[in-house]
Each structure stands twice: as structure tokens, then as C-alpha cells.
């Protein structure tokens, strides 16, 4: 029997055979997802035994379409975007065999939600300046510090965490990457309200939190390299997602333009055309990124796509308010909500305008992303960094 990865026709047969045994209408949702993972039809490009079959990543979309057409239950990616888009590829790349077997299955089925403990009040997008400490303690680590802007922390079972383990070396070294159990008594989660009134994010306080050494991802002191792999995947996830033409905010404003000829002016027409063309270029760039990802690892181009996404969303939401004038400014629903997903298209113009401001902060600020684009894509000289060779403990705090 051949052990070669299946091609497209082979995958189609496997999906049909699977569905013949597991009727989506008659199978418990969780049991269905677990069986799909075990059949290698979750991430087809992952290795056998870890939800995949070692097939080309480009074939995943076809498999997903076949399951969707059959009415198969989804694994609610909007609820576990960090787990699926960032934690899973990091665990696959840097985890031990035991870590992969322990974490990937319940992550993919959505039984265990993940969050990301990277940002800190005193560090922000300068991840290398983080101050959360992890101190070796027997067969594990004791962690103390504070994280901020943490999506899904209030629902997460696990978190990917970067902590400083050696303050005596420069700030880009001496960090280590862990998997943190969010149910540990030393972990406290508090909601963080935004100017929309909602609380998508959290503050997370770590006070003597205990992490066993077997929950370390990568070598001690190698946390920066592991974190960079995570962030590359994050920016592709934000800026390189698939979207139809006129999907997202530009579709909302284009529809408004067509439905309300009374709002039109020549100046607004020119601005709409400019943003429509930019949105289409961003959409096609995102599609190219998806194809690039299918062919291998994500590159720094994901940062450019995320940067463009943030700028466009803010400009388009601003144009919508210009079109609607005072009608667009009304926003009076300050109900405390904890949404798992930011849905621009089904919310009010006022919400869209306020929420879009966060796009240039979350997932890496636009300032940091411009540096990445300048240095890693355009090849421009690196920004002078006076603290490059200074031990972290000697840096001004």
C-alpha cells in the first residue's frame, strides 16, 4: 500500500468515504470533529497522526468546501483564531512530539481555546522589551508579570506566553516561550473596555503562576525566534485572509454609494474610487499571500498586508462618516459585550469608525510594521538601536 501523500482526487475520495461513515446530520458535533482530525482531514498538510496526511497545503480549501457542502459542523475558527492561526503552527514547528499530541487535537476541535500573552503595558509593540519574568523552580518555572490587550483570555484554557528568563543579556535574547495553563491559580484575567464600550480584550496578571518545563516551546533563551514565527503567522492571518471582491468595509460603503445617490459629491466619488482600487489591490495581495503560504512558510509580506488592511479600514470607515454626515456620528450603544469576533459589516457606522482605530494597534502597530517592511522587504538600512548590545537589566525602565 502506498504511503505517499494523497493528491486532490485521493483527498476527495477520503472525504466521501469519511462522510459515508460519519453522517454530519446524525453525528454529535464534537465526535464528528474528533473523527475528522483522526482521519487526517483537519489540516491536510500536517503530518499523519496530527490531523493531517502530509498533503500539499493548497488542497485544504477543496477539503473544507466538500465538508461545508455536506453540512459538516465547523470548529468555530472565529472563537479560536489565535489557537488555529498562531499557536498551532508554532507548536508544529517548535513543539516536542508529546506537546503536539497533547495540544493539537483539542485545539483544532475547539475544545480548548487559546490566547496569546505577548503584549505588556510597558513594552507594547516592542516585544523585546517585555518584563514578565520566568524563574526556574525545580522541574518548572514560576512566572510573574502583567500582559495586556489579550483576546479571548477570559475563555482560554491555554496561552502562548513569552517571558524573560535571563535579564543579564540584551533584550532580544534571554527570553523563553511557554504554554501557560490559564486555569492556574496564579493567573488572573480582567476585562479591558474599549472606546466602543465593548471588551474584546483583557488584562492578565501573572502572580507566581506555575508552568512545568514540559510546557516550554523551543530552547531556553530562544523565545525571540519562536515568537517571530508566531507573529509572522498572526500578520498573515489578519492581512492575508481570503475575501471576495467588495468584501469587508469597502463593500459596505460601495453599497451605500449605490443606494443613496443623494449623498454623492464629485469629491467623495473620487475618494471612493481611490479606496476601491486600494481595497482591490489589498485583496489580491492577500490572495497572493495565501498562495505563498500554501507553498511554504509565511514571509514578511504578511506585515505589509496587515499594514494595508489597517490603513484602508480606517480610511474607508472615515469616508462612510463623511457620506452620512451627522447620521453617521450617532453611536449610543455602550452595552458591555465580550465579542469573540469583530464584525464590521453588521455594525453601525459609528461603531465601525471607532473600532477601526484599533486596527493600527492590534497585531503589531503600524509603526513597527513599517520598520519590518523597510528592512526586510525593501532592504533599507536598519533603524539605529542604541540598546542592541545592552543587557536588559541595565536598560532604563
> Given phi > 0 = left and psi -120 to 50 = alpha, else beta, which region is 248?
left
pLDDT at res. 4: 82
Angle between helices 349-356 and 301-324 (to 10 degrees): 140
Same domain, 219 and 245: no
Lowest mean pLDDT among 163-172, 207-216, 343-352: 343-352
For residue 149, what are the domain limits?
Answer: 114-223
Same domain, 315 and 290: yes
CATH number for position 217: 2.40.110.10
Same domain, 231 and 374: yes
**Domain count across the chain:** 3
- Tell whether 327 is covered by a domain: yes
The x, y and z cell numbers of residue 323, run together, are 457620506
Which of 116 and 293 is assigned the larger pLDDT? 116
Same domain, 251 and 204: no
Q: How many Å apart are CA 285 and CA 191, to the nearest integer?
A: 35
pLDDT at res. 130: 94
With contact defined as beta carbons under 8 Å apart, do 154 and 190 qualify?
Answer: no
Indicate whether 187 pLDDT > 90. yes
- Tell whether 98 is covered by a domain: no
Same domain, 207 and 245: no
CATH number for position 251: 1.20.140.10
pLDDT at res. 139: 95
Same domain, 216 and 232: no
- Tell whether 103 is covered by a domain: no
Same domain, 257 and 356: yes
With contact defined as beta carbons under 8 Å apart, do 235 and 305 qualify?
Answer: yes
pLDDT at res. 344: 84
DSSP letter assigned to residue 387: T
Specify the DSSP element, H or E, that contains 218.
none
Residue spans of beta strands (DSSP E) within the chain: 114-117, 133-137, 140-147, 158-164, 175-181, 187-192, 201-212, 216-217
Pairing of β 114-117 and β 158-164: parallel
- Tell whether 85 is covered by a domain: no
Q: What digits encode the pLDDT tens for the residues 215-246? A: 999 999 999 999 988 987 776 565 556 678 99
Percentage helix, strand, coil for the chain under 3-state DSSP, each rounded to 5 = 45, 15, 40
Lowest mean pLDDT among 157-166, 181-190, 321-330: 321-330
The domain boundary, picked from 223, 257, 288, lies at 223
Q: Within a 10 A sphere around the Cβ of 386, how many other Cβ atoms?
A: 7
Name all contacts of 348-355 with Cβ < 8 Å and 24+ positions apart: 349/317, 349/320, 349/321, 349/324, 350/321, 351/196, 352/249, 352/252, 352/317, 352/320, 353/317, 353/318, 353/320, 353/321, 353/328, 354/194, 354/195, 354/196, 355/194, 355/196
Q: What digits encode the pLDDT tens for the residues 316-330? A: 999 999 999 888 888
Same domain, 262 and 337: yes
With contact defined as beta carbons under 8 Å apart, do 151 and 163 qualify?
Answer: no
> Exposure of 265 by Cβ count < 10 A (0-12 exposed, 13-18 middle, 19+ buried)?
exposed
pLDDT at res. 57: 85
pLDDT at res. 235: 61
pLDDT at res. 127: 87
CA 220 remoteness from chain centre: 24
Tell me the pLDDT band of 298, cut-offs 50, 70 and 90. Answer: low
Mean pLDDT score, 74-97 = 93
The x, y and z cell numbers of residue 336, run together, are 458591555
Same domain, 153 and 68: no
State the average pLDDT for the chain: 90
Residues labelled catalytic: 234
Same domain, 307 and 185: no
Mean pLDDT score, 193-210 = 94
pLDDT at res. 294: 66
Amino acid at each position: 500500500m502506498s504511503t505517499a501523500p494523497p493528491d486532490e482526487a485521493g483527498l476527495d475520495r477520503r472525504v466521501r468515504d469519511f462522510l459515508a461513515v460519519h453522517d454530519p446530520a446524525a453525528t454529535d458535533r464534537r465526535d464528528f470533529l474528533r473523527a475528522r482530525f483522526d482521519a487526517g482531514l483537519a489540516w491536510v498538510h500536517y503530518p499523519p497522526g496530527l490531523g493531517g496526511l502530509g498533503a500539499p497545503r493548497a488542497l485544504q480549501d477543496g477539503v473544507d468546501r466538500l465538508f461545508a457542502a455536506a453540512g459538516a459542523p465547523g470548529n468555530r475558527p472565529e472563537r479560536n483564531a489565535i489557537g488555529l492561526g498562531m499557536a498551532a503552527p508554532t507548536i508544529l514547528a517548535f513543539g516536542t512530539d508529546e506537546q503536539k499530541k497533547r495540544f493539537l487535537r483539542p485545539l483544532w476541535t475547539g475544545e480548548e481555546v487559546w490566547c496569546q500573552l505577548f503584549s505588556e503595558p510597558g513594552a507594547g509593540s516592542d516585544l523585546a522589551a517585555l518584563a514578565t519574568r520566568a524563574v526556574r523552580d525545580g522541574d518548572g518555572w514560576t512566572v510573574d508579570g502583567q500582559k495586556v490587550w489579550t483576546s479571548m483570555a477570559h475563555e482560554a484554557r491555554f496561552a502562548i506566553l513569552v517571558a524573560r528568563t535571563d535579564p543579564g543579556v540584551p533584550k532580544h535574547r534571554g527570553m523563553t516561550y511557554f504554554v501557560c495553563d490559564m486555569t492556574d491559580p496564579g493567573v488572573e484575567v480582567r476585562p479591558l473596555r474599549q472606546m466602543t464600550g465593548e471588551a474584546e480584550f483583557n488584562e492578565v496578571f501573572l502572580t507566581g503562576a506555575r508552568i512545568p518545563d514540559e510546557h516550554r516551546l523551543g530552547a531556553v533563551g530562544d523565545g525571540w525566534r519562536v515568537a517571530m514565527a508566531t507573529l509572522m503567522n498572526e500578520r498573515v492571518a489578519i492581512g492575508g485572509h481570503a475575501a471576495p471582491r467588495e468584501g469587508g468595509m469597502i463593500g459596505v460603503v460601495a453599497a451605500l454609494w449605490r443606494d443613496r445617490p443623494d449623498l454623492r459629491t464629485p469629491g467623495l466619488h473620487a475618494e471612493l474610487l481611490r479606496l476601491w482600487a486600494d481595497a482591490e489591490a489589498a485583496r489580491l495581495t492577500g490572495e497572493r499571500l495565501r498562495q505563498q503560504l500554501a507553498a511554504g512558510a509565511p514571509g514578511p509580506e504578511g506585515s505589509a498586508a496587515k499594514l494595508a488592511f489597517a490603513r484602508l479600514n480606517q480610511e474607508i470607515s472615515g469616508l462612510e462618516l463623511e457620506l452620512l454626515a451627522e447620521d453617521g456620528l450617532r453611536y449610543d450603544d455602550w452595552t458591555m459585550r465580550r465579542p469573540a469576533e469583530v464584525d464590521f459589516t453588521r455594525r453601525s457606522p459609528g461603531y465601525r469608525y471607532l473600532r477601526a482605530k484599533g486596527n493600527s494597534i492590534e497585531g503589531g502597530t503600524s509603526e513597527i510594521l513599517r520598520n519590518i517592511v523597510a528592512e526586510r522587504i525593501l532592504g533599507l538600512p536598519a533603524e539605529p538601536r542604541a540598546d542592541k548590545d545592552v543587557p536588559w537589566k541595565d536598560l532604563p525602565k
